[in-house]
């Protein structure tokens, strides 16, 4: 009895909803007008290219001839025949799982500390910590540090200290490649998320700290967890998405420091693999399939991270 009642109720709701939809759209005319310029451009220059790329992933496409439909062939090859892809997927997961969360915490930590400073010091400190992202020569520095002979800074220092007897070819030794990439990536990663946290900390109401102090928040760590972080949840969400897109797309570091192909593919990542097919071998169909898999991977981890972030401050 109650079952049919529920169903009738649901049908009624649905009819109401449909009737209301047009009315709602008309009522919110201003909203749609404001959305229009962005979303028209967004459709042409972002949505359409993405859809086309997903389409290409089901084709053989060498950028000279018309794409030929091949069904799931690219994906099958990717998962069952391409050993290098499997290796690069593993590397990417390691890099993402380590650098993603750590660099997120670092961004937050440094933004938070910098927020304690005032005026010019603050702007200057922000610049220093953002410098690797803005200077463009960051890799040159690391190449000097990691040079494989005894003139490399790292080798020089370690040999002087007596830790090493002879120079180590850092980027040509398989076991060092991933750890080095992780360090450099962390060093480089105070970028988008960091600056958005800096700006986000500005918008936290000062009065909330006073209220919290009265409520018995004792030290800065409690203040951070119970006041600051919940107040800047939107920025935390934003930072997390940026971190995911960065962590899964690590490629430049590897290309610049380990080269492509790196020694025994120790530094291969999904995106270096993708670049290899997309820009060197010009197999756009296969490259698109890699991009689609990477996309799904990022979407999945985004779901997970957003769920975790909802818990902040509880």
241-260 positions binding other proteins, by CB under 8 A: 241-242, 244-245, 248-249
Report in angstroms how near the CB of residue 108 gets to other proteins at its nearest.
Answer: 14
Options 74, 99, 185, 235; binder of other proteins; rule CB under 8 A: 235
Using rule CB under 8 A, residue 80 touches other proteins:
no
Using rule CB under 8 A, residue 86 touches other proteins:
no
Question: What is d(CA 99, CA 92) in angstroms, rounded to the nearest whole number?
Answer: 10
Secondary structure letter of residue 60 according to DSSP: E
Question: What is d(CA 65, CA 56) in angstroms, rounded to the nearest whole number?
Answer: 13
Q: Which of 13, 101, 84, 66 is CA-nearest to residue 264?
A: 84
Would you say 142 and 257 are in contact if contact means Cβ atoms under 8 Å apart? yes
Residue-wise burial string across 225-263, b where 16 or more C-beta atoms lie within 10 A, e elsewhere: ebbbbebbeebbbbbbebbbebbbbbbbbbbbbbebebe
Cβ proximity to other proteins: between 53 and 178 the closer is 53
Cβ proximity to other proteins: between 74 and 262 the closer is 74
**Which 155-214 positions form the footprint of other proteins (CB under 8 A)?**
156, 187, 190, 192, 195-196, 198-200, 202-207, 209-210, 213
Q: In this chain, which stretch among 31-39, 78-86, 87-95, 160-168 interacts with other proteins, using CB under 8 A?
A: 31-39
Q: Cβ–Cβ contacts within 10 Å for residue 68, how many?
A: 11
Would you say 208 and 235 are in contact if contact means Cβ atoms under 8 Å apart? no
Options 140, 280, 304, 308; binder of other proteins; rule CB under 8 A: 140
Using rule CB under 8 A, residue 305 touches other proteins:
no
Report in angstroms how near the CB of residue 203 gets to other proteins at its nearest.
Answer: 6
Cβ proximity to other proteins: between 1 and 214 the closer is 214
């Amino acid at each position: 009895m109650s079952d049919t009642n529920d169903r009738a109720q649901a049908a009624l709701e649905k009819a109401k909803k449909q009737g209301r939809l047009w009315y709602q759209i008309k009522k919110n005319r201003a909203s749609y007008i404001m959305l229009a310029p962005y979303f028209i451009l967004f459709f042409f220059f972002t949505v359409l290219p993405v859809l086309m790329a997903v389409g290409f992933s089901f084709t053989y496409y060498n950028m000279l001839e018309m794409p030929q439909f091949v069904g799931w062939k690219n994906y099958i090859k990717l998962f069952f025949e391409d050993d290098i892809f499997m290796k690069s997927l593993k590397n990417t997961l390691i890099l993402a799982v380590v650098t993603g969360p750590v660099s997120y915490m670092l961004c937050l930590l440094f933004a938070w500390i910098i927020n304690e400073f005032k005026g010019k010091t603050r702007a200057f400190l922000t610049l220093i910590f953002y410098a690797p992202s803005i200077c463009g020569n960051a890799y040159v520095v690391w190449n000097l540090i990691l040079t494989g002979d005894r003139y490399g800074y790292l080798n020089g220092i370690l040999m002087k200290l007596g830790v090493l007897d002879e120079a180590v070819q850092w980027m040509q030794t398989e076991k060092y490649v991933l750890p080095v990439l992780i360090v450099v990536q962390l060093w480089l990663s105070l970028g988008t998320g960091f600056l958005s946290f800096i700006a986000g900390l500005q918008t936290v109401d000062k009065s909330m700290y006073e209220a919290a102090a009265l409520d018995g928040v004792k030290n800065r760590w409690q203040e951070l967890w119970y006041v600051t972080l919940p107040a800047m949840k939107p920025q935390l969400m934003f930072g997390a998405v940026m971190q995911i897109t960065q962590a899964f797309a690590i490629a430049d570091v590897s290309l610049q420091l380990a080269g492509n192909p790196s020694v025994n593919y120790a530094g291969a990542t999904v995106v270096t693999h993708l670049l290899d097919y997309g820009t060197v071998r010009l197999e756009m169909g296969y490259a698109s399939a890699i991009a689609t898999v990477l996309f799904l991977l990022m979407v999945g981890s985004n779901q997970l991270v957003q769920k975790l972030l909802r818990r902040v401050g509880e």
